[in-house]
């Protein structure tokens, strides 16, 4: 359970997050009935597949957590190939990474940033949002095509420069 200092800091970080989205003039949803829930949800239109993002402030662990679930699940017979593809994609990244649930084929991109003993700026939030959007936009259609069998793992690797 977060103490009073952690909660105060989390609320400051959360306000910085909201300020970053407002600076972009992006609309977002937050839980106004439960203000202690420090998260926002929004959708960004990419080149092909809309991206749904959730950012939340974890007061207990003093983290900003960002997640973007792909709007599709990978069929069971393609999960092994997709597991390899997500590993290869992650190998090329400096920040964030993809996770795939082998049980249901869900894929998500996640990025975390600790604010413990730190100052959080709006530019850090902007970086997290921009990095996530560009990364998800680059890979989401490739994961979808690979999951549908429209491209091979070799084609995926060539496309991402493996």
Give the model's pLDDT for residue 48.
87
pTM above 0.85, yes or no: yes
Q: How confident is the model at residue 155 (pLDDT cuts 50, 70, 90)?
A: very high
Distance of CA 84 to the CA centre of its chain: 19
Give the CA distances from residue 33 to residues 19, 28, 111, 134, in Å, rounded to whole numbers and listed in that order: 20, 15, 27, 32
Phi, psi torsion values for 98, nearest 5 degrees: -95, 145
SS3 assignment, position 74: coil
Of residues 98, 113, 94, 111, the one with CA closest to residue 156:
98
- Which has the higher per-residue pLDDT, 23 or 35? 23
The Cα 151–Cα 142 span in angstroms is 8
């Amino acid at each position: 359970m977060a103490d009073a200092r952690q909660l105060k800091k989390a609320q400051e970080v959360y306000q910085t997050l909201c300020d970053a989205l407002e600076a972009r003039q992006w609309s977002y949803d937050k839980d106004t009935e439960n203000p202690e829930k420090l998260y926002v949800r929004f959708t960004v239109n990419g080149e092909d597949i809309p991206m749904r993002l959730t950012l939340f402030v974890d007061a207990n662990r003093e983290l900003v957590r960002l997640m973007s679930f792909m709007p599709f699940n990978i069929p069971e017979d393609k999960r092994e190939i997709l597991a390899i593809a997500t590993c290869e994609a992650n190998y090329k990244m400096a920040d964030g990474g993809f996770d795939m649930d082998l049980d249901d084929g869900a894929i998500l991109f996640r990025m975390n940033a600790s604010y413990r003993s730190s100052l959080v700026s709006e530019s850090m939030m902007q970086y997290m949002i921009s990095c996530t959007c560009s990364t998800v936009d680059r890979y989401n259609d490739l994961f979808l095509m690979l999951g549908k069998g429209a491209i091979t793992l070799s084609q995926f690797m060539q496309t991402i420069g493996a």
